Structure 1
Amino acid sequence: MSVHGESVPMTSRRAGPLKGVAEVPGDKSISHRALILGALSVGETKVTGLLEGQDVLDTAKAMRAFGAEVTRHGEGSWSVHGVGVGGFAEPSDVIDCGNSGTGVRLIMGTMATSPITATFTGDASLRKRPMGRVTDPLSLFGARAYGRSGGRLPMTIVGAADPVPVRYVVPVPSAQVKSAVLLAGLNAPGETVVIEKEPTRDHSERMLKGFGATLRFEEVEEGRAIILTGRPELLPQAVAVPRDPSSAAFPVCAALIVDGSEILVPGVSQNPTRNGLYVTLVEMGANIAFENPREEGGEPVADLRVRFSGDLKGIEVPEERAASMIDEYPILSVVAAYAEGTTVMRGVKELRVKESDRIDAMARGLEACGVKIEEDEDTLIVHGMGAGGVPGGATCKTHIDHRIAMSFLVLGLAAKNAVSVDDGSPIATSFPVFEDLMAGLGAEIARG
């Protein structure tokens, strides 16, 4: 049974070509950060295009619990009356972040340098995920964390009464860890320095500067240093959230593998720290045109025109690209199954500590559908079967993971036999309109 309620088995099968316009939701990463930085500003921040998936709604509830006034005015239209840096109140109840690793880690960082205490929990999937990668650097500021064995939720964070600035080298590429440390540094005196050995998505840096924080960047021996001046007065903003490239990946990849398809996906973020999937797809021979490039909300965006690509070729994905597409490897492995030749994905061990062990989940499901795969701790290799060549016919386990569920439902749209998932309910955490959007394009996806 799903922790979101009753399990929702779903099945997809081959149907006609996908046609039309796919208006995917707002970017989840930016939506989380808009609410959090709005809560740390003095005055009213207005947000349009906010993703209204459960992950983001849980972050909105958390900001209310810490004292901000968060109001929904209409679809995607929200306002946040903030309390200022260091102005968080102590919440009266446990903060439930549902399924969101981004939400819980960013919120922990935000409150860790205020003299308050908060307890965090989440669903069964989130309670399995490691929090030590965030609580370890937060302890350098003076915060203390008390959780279950292995650094797991539920966890209580006692914020630092007298925080100190830190210099922290992020040990593994992680935008969540980087962002948590930068958010903690907002309420620490002096300069907090975060050093990345490899670049990760830069939404936090872009948005912090947009809200008035002082950041500068330097190349140092260990990598790229992000230097944040503490205790700024953040200024409320009007934030237009671009469409989520991770959500867009599902209709885009479906159109690539379903014969005869042509769709338009407007206004998708093309942030270079997030577009690794699209670079990879083009290298595989995908027919994707990037039309009307422009900037919205400080982020580069484009309209994607996507056509069926029956001659996709397997490639070796550069390991250094992993950080810019870590959430997209599950759906890439689906496209790889319909390519000619072998696709090799290395440097992906981070997938083993996502909402599920995504390497294992995709490997087992693809095998059940007749695709030959290889894997080790840090690698997934898919031996493609060509256009329309996947047998399908299996029920795949989602492990309470929205991206696994959507990936296998896309797989079934071009398979010889229908593909089912044991529980599609987690899709609502990030892409609540997935079923309706795909049905509008002509996909055959049914519950039960």
Structure 2
Amino acid sequence: MKQLPTTENGLHGTIVVPGDKSISHRALMFGAMANGTTKVLRRLDSADVSSTISVLRSLGAKITELDNDITEVIGTGVSGLKDPTVDLDMGNSGTSTRLLTGLITGAGLQATITGDSSLSKRPMDRVIDPLSEIGGKFTSDHGHLPLTVQKSTLSSTIKQTLHVGSAQVKSAILLAGLAAGSDTFVTDPFHTRNHTEQMLPKFGVKVDIKGDTIHIPANQNLQPAEVEVPGDISSAAYWIVAGLITPNSELTIKNVGVNPTRIGLLTVLQQMGGDITINQKDDIGEPIADITVKTSQLHGVVVGGDIIPSLIDEIPMIVLAATQATGTTVIKDAAELKVKETDRIETVQEELNKLNADVTPTEDGFIIKGGKQLVAQDTHVSGHADHRIAMMLSIAALVTNGTIILDDDESVKISYPTFFNNLEGIV
């Protein structure tokens, strides 16, 4: 439980956000699949990534934290991975669960996968079904954890088209095919985040992309690599929106990954009138930039269609921004929000409306009537044990005129353990 800070003088300063969660997971997994020593620089140190490390160790990889923010992964090669002797506890991490289910299936291993109560409610049939079609064998609790992967032999040629806009599902199939040595084709009509196919060439894997189809030729072995992890744009989203909606503010967020499949948030906020300067600096396998934001008068927009996969995790922050914009904002085509750590359509509207927002949930998004002063008279809010909801509410507190108590501040450790330290440093 935590009383959330407010500000009278605006937000000012520079923030360096933690390493990208999606890229951290993948770098560690690919390192474990390679034969030799991989170094991962500035990975995210969070509960979700710790779950991935624990599971990879159970599969046979040796992972050590070195000085200077370097994680060393001594991989066994896919053929050297072993059946775990214990259940694989994924904690709260959907990315760990779905990607590693693909890897374990393709490697022909047997393992039982578990998770916390929240993860156990999330649908796993979205990976079970396509992996079953190519030879995977599973037992589960009606498409939920616990999930047992049985020893499987996959098809020598894999051809799959995504039916949901999920990079986790895409990556699970790609990893399964790669681990099995299959000739693998995955078509992604949703243009989901592309970190897997972007990173694999660093590990010596040939990846061919034609239109919406990713092709990984058969019988490839991963080579060790060095991966530098950029700042997570999902974590930067809190400060980007905070700087735009809090009066008298100017913030710079340093070294943020601006992969084109992840920057839908920036596009939408600029369409809303946000004063955002993107200073692209470098390309470390992923493009990075410093992002500066200033207080702006935002206006309502319609958000939907092809842009949704590029901002699905940032939608709670777009809703918050819309409460402070003039006019009405409509968010649609985002039913995927219902199967995150919480039903984020329900939890976002429930908690923001406690603060006098006007947010109406729909089947696949929201209608937000903006321009209302958020208020709080000793109000208790809850993140519902969902890290992104808890952090969104912490930013909302900055533009209220009362006292807000957050009932579950511990949940931020899932993806951003230093969040409150950063917040207190700029108010």
TM bucket (normalised to shorter chain) is over 0.9
Q: What is the match of residue 392 of structure 1?
A: 376
Q: What is the match of residue 21 of structure 1?
A: 14
> Pairwise CA RMSD of aligned residues?
1.4
Choose from 328, 332, 336 the match for 2:314: 328
Kindly provide the amino acid, as one letter, of the partner of residue 396 in structure 2: L
CA contact 2:46–2:416 (8 Å) conserved in 1 = yes
Kindly provide the amino acid, as one letter, of the partner of residue 126 in structure 2: R
Q: What is the match of residue 238 of structure 1?
A: 226
Kindly provide the amino acid, as one letter, of the partner of residue 293 in structure 2: V
- Within-5 A mapping of 1:220-235: 224-235=212-223
Choose from 210, 214, 219 the match for 1:218: 210
- Within-5 A mapping of 1:114-263: 114-149=107-142, 151-161=143-153, 163-219=155-211, 224-263=212-251
Q: What is the match of residue 346 of structure 2?
A: 360
CA contact 1:187–1:230 (8 Å) conserved in 2 = no
Kindly provide the amino acid, as one letter, of the partner of residue 258 in structure 2: Q
Taking structure 1 as reference, are residues 162 and 370 closer, same or farther at Cα in structure 2, changes over 3 Å only?
closer
CA contact 1:193–1:225 (8 Å) conserved in 2 = yes
1:233-280 deviation line (CA, Å, top 9, x unaligned): 111111000000000111121111111111111111111100000111
1:273-294 deviation line (CA, Å, top 9, x unaligned): 0000011111111111112432
Poorly superposed stretches of 4+, deviation over 4 Å? none
Taking structure 1 as reference, are residues 15 and 118 closer, same or farther at Cα in structure 2, changes over 3 Å only?
farther
Give the Å deviation of 1:162.
5.5
After alignment, is 99-108 or 249-258 more displaced?
A: 249-258
CA contact 1:13–1:419 (8 Å) conserved in 2 = no
Q: Percent identity at matched positions?
A: 38
Choose from 81, 101, 111 the match for 2:104: 111
Q: Distance in 2 between matches of 1:381 and 1:153?
A: 33
Q: What is the match of residue 307 of structure 1?
A: 294
Q: Distance in 2 between matches of 1:22 and 1:378?
A: 33
Q: Distance in 1 between matches of 2:59 and 2:219?
A: 18
CA contact 2:3–2:403 (8 Å) conserved in 1 = no
Taking structure 1 as reference, are residues 203 and 153 closer, same or farther at Cα in structure 2, changes over 3 Å only?
same
Choose from 261, 264, 275 the match for 1:287: 275
1:152-181 deviation line (CA, Å, top 9, x unaligned): 111111131455432111101110000000
CA contact 2:276–2:292 (8 Å) conserved in 1 = yes
Q: Distance in 2 between matches of 1:423 and 1:292?
A: 36
Give the Å deviation of 1:10.
4.4
Give the Å deviation of 1:183.
0.3
After alignment, is 391-400 or 37-46 more displaced?
A: 391-400
Choose from 35, 40, 60 the match for 1:42: 35
Q: What is the match of residue 3 of structure 1?
A: none
Q: Distance in 1 between matches of 2:277 and 2:121?
A: 40
Q: What is the match of residue 446 of structure 1?
A: none
Give the Å deviation of 1:112.
0.4
Kindly provide the amino acid, as one letter, of the partner of residue 399 in structure 1: H
Q: Distance in 1 between matches of 2:399 and 2:269?
A: 17
Give the Å deviation of 1:9.
4.3
CA contact 1:408–1:420 (8 Å) conserved in 2 = no
1:390-419 deviation line (CA, Å, top 9, x unaligned): 223432222210000000110011112233
Q: What is the match of residue 69 of structure 1?
A: 62
- TM-score (normalised: structure 2): 0.97
Choose from 428, 432, 439 the match for 2:413: 428
Q: Distance in 2 between matches of 1:87 and 1:75?
A: 29
CA contact 2:156–2:183 (8 Å) conserved in 1 = no
CA contact 2:105–2:151 (8 Å) conserved in 1 = yes
Structure 1 residue matching 2:145: 3-state secondary structure:
strand
Give the Å deviation of 1:300.
0.9
1:181-215 deviation line (CA, Å, top 9, x unaligned): 00000123441111112100000001112211122
Q: What is the match of residue 5 of structure 1?
A: none
Kindly provide the amino acid, as one letter, of the partner of residue 238 in structure 2: F
Kindly provide the amino acid, as one letter, of the partner of residue 305 in structure 1: T
User: Number of aligned pairs?
Assistant: 426
CA contact 2:280–2:287 (8 Å) conserved in 1 = no
CA contact 1:351–1:358 (8 Å) conserved in 2 = yes
Q: Distance in 1 between matches of 2:420 and 2:181?
A: 48
Give the Å deviation of 1:337.
0.8
The reply on whether 1:92 has 2:85 as its aligned counterpart is: yes
CA contact 1:412–1:420 (8 Å) conserved in 2 = no
Structure 2 residue matching 1:47: 3-state secondary structure:
strand
Q: Distance in 2 between matches of 1:365 and 1:321?
A: 25
Kindly provide the amino acid, as one letter, of the partner of residue 210 in structure 2: E
Kindly provide the amino acid, as one letter, of the partner of residue 280 in structure 1: V
Q: Distance in 1 between matches of 2:316 and 2:403?
A: 19
Kindly provide the amino acid, as one letter, of the partner of residue 301 in structure 1: I
Taking structure 1 as reference, are residues 118 and 163 closer, same or farther at Cα in structure 2, changes over 3 Å only?
farther
Give the Å deviation of 1:318.
3.5
Q: What is the match of residue 24 of structure 2?
A: 31
Give the Å deviation of 1:75.
5.8
Taking structure 1 as reference, are residues 181 and 334 closer, same or farther at Cα in structure 2, changes over 3 Å only?
same
Which 5+ residue runs of structure 2 have no aligned equivalent?
none
Structure 2 residue matching 1:369: 3-state secondary structure:
coil
Q: Distance in 1 between matches of 2:343 and 2:210?
A: 35
Which 5+ residue runs of structure 1 have no aligned equivalent?
1-7, 443-448
Q: Distance in 2 between matches of 1:169 and 1:295?
A: 30
Kindly provide the amino acid, as one letter, of the partner of residue 304 in structure 1: I
Q: What is the match of residue 4 of structure 1?
A: none
Q: Distance in 2 between matches of 1:161 and 1:89?
A: 16
Q: Distance in 2 between matches of 1:163 and 1:262?
A: 54
Structure 1 residue matching 2:184: 3-state secondary structure:
strand
